[in-house]
Amino acid sequence: MDYRLRLTDGTTHMIQIFATTFKKFKVWKLAFDNGTEIMLYKVGSQWMQRREDFLEQSYVISIGAYIDKMVPV
């Protein structure tokens, strides 16, 4: 899946979203056009990111809502 993200500074980035598994958990890897990768996962109804990743929470929620729309439960 591809997702277009507009940052608060006005720049737009294309993100590729891949579903995968990590230690038996279903996770989604986000690959930015600059090579950065971030991993998201869902706990209950809340979207989370790894401790090593530093994406703003508003972006995590927005991308998580997009994944929820695209991938039925």
| Residue 34's pLDDT band (cuts 50, 70, 90) | confident
Output the average pLDDT for the chain.
88
Whether pLDDT at 29 is above 90? yes
* Mean pLDDT, residues 8-34: 88
Tell which residue, 18, 15, 24, has the closest CA to residue 59.
15
Quote the pLDDT of residue 73: 60
- Percent of the chain exceeding pLDDT 70 equals 97
| Residue 8's pLDDT band (cuts 50, 70, 90) | confident
